[in-house]
C-alpha cells in the first residue's frame, strides 16, 4: 500500500527517482574525492548524502502527482531482477577537458537499467509528465564548478586519480522516490516511497 505524502493541499515538493548507493560504496567514493581535492579547488563537491544514481528528475511534484508517479514506478519495478552495477571511469559535462560538471561513470548491467528507465519514462509521458530531453546516462555526480558557467580546473590527471574507484561492484535492489528541500546548509533528502525490484511498493 502506498504511503500518501502529507504536504498540505497545495504545497509541492522537489522530487527525483534514484538508486541509493550502499554505504561502503559512498565511503569509497568519498575516499577517492579526498585524493582529488588538492588538484581541483574550483569545484563544489557533492556531499555523501547527496550521492545517488538519479534515474529521473521531476522538479516540483504535488501530492497527487506523487501518487501517480508511485503507481507507474511500482508497476515497472515489481518484476525487475536486482541489477549488478560497478563504478566506472570519471567524465565531465560537456567533456573532461573543460568540464562544468564532474561525474563518475557506472557500468555493469546498465542496459537493463536503461530499459527500465525508458519504460518508466514512456508511462510517465502517457500520464502527462514531461519527458527528459537528454538521453539517460547512468552516472554519479561528483561535483560542479563553483562559478556559474565556469569550468573545473585540474582534471588532466583525473583518470589516474580515480583509478582505484573503478570496477567496485554493488547491487541495485530498488528505486527510491526522494524529496529534496533546499536548506542553508544544503539539500535535505526525504524518502517518499520505495520500489523494491521483484516485490511490492512500500511507503
13-196: CATH topology is: Cyclic Phosphodiesterase; Chain: A, (3.90.1140)
Indicate the domain borders of the chain: 13-196
- Predicted pLDDT of residue 123: 98
- Predicted pLDDT of residue 202: 52
Give pLDDT tens digits along the chain (203 positions): 334 444 444 689 999 999 999 999 999 999 888 888 888 888 999 999 999 999 999 999 999 999 999 999 999 999 999 999 999 888 899 988 889 999 999 999 999 999 999 999 999 999 999 998 889 999 999 999 988 778 998 887 777 767 677 779 999 999 999 999 988 878 899 999 999 998 544 55
Q: Which string of DSSP letters, residue by residue, matches the chain?
A: -PPPP-S-SS--EEEEEEEEPPHHHHHHHHHHHHHHGGG--SEEEPPGGG-EEEEEEEEEE-HHHHHHHHHHHHHHHTTPPPEEEEEEEEEEES-SSS-SEEEEEEEESHHHHHHHHHHHHHHHHHTTPPPPSSPP--EEEEEEESSTT------TTHHHHTGGGTT-EEEE-EEEEEEEEEETTEEEEEEEEEEETTS--B-
Amino acid at each position: 500500500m502506498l504511503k500518501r505524502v502529507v504536504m498540505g493541499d497545495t504545497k509541492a515538493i522537489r522530487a527525483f527517482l534514484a538508486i541509493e548507493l550502499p554505504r561502503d560504496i559512498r565511503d569509497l567514493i568519498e575516499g577517492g574525492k579526498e585524493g582529488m581535492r588538492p588538484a581541483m579547488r574550483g569545484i563544489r563537491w557533492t556531499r555523501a548524502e547527496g550521492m545517488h544514481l538519479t534515474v529521473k528528475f521531476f522538479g516540483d511534484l504535488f501530492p497527487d502527482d506523487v501518487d501517480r508517479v508511485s503507481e507507474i514506478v511500482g508497476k515497472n519495478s515489481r518484476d525487475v531482477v536486482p541489477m549488478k552495477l560497478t563504478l566506472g571511469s570519471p567524465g565531465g559535462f560537456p567533456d573532461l577537458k573543460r568540464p562544468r560538471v564532474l561525474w563518475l561513470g557506472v557500468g555493469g548491467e546498465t542496459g537493463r537499467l536503461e530499459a527500465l528507465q525508458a519504460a518508466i519514462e514512456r508511462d510517465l509521458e502517457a500520464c502527462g509528465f514531461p519527458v527528459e530531453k537528454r538521453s539517460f546516462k547512468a552516472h554519479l555526480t561528483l561535483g560542479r564548478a563553483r562559478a556559474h558557467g565556469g569550468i573545473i580546473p585540474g582534471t588532466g590527471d583525473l583518470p589516474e586519480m580515480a583509478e582505484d574507484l573503478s570496477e567496485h561492484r554493488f547491487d541495485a535492489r530498488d528505486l527510491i522516490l526522494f524529496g529534496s528541500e533546499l536548506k542553508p546548509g544544503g539539500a535535505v533528502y526525504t524518502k517518499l516511497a520505495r520500489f523494491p525490484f521483484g516485490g511490492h511498493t512500500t511507503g
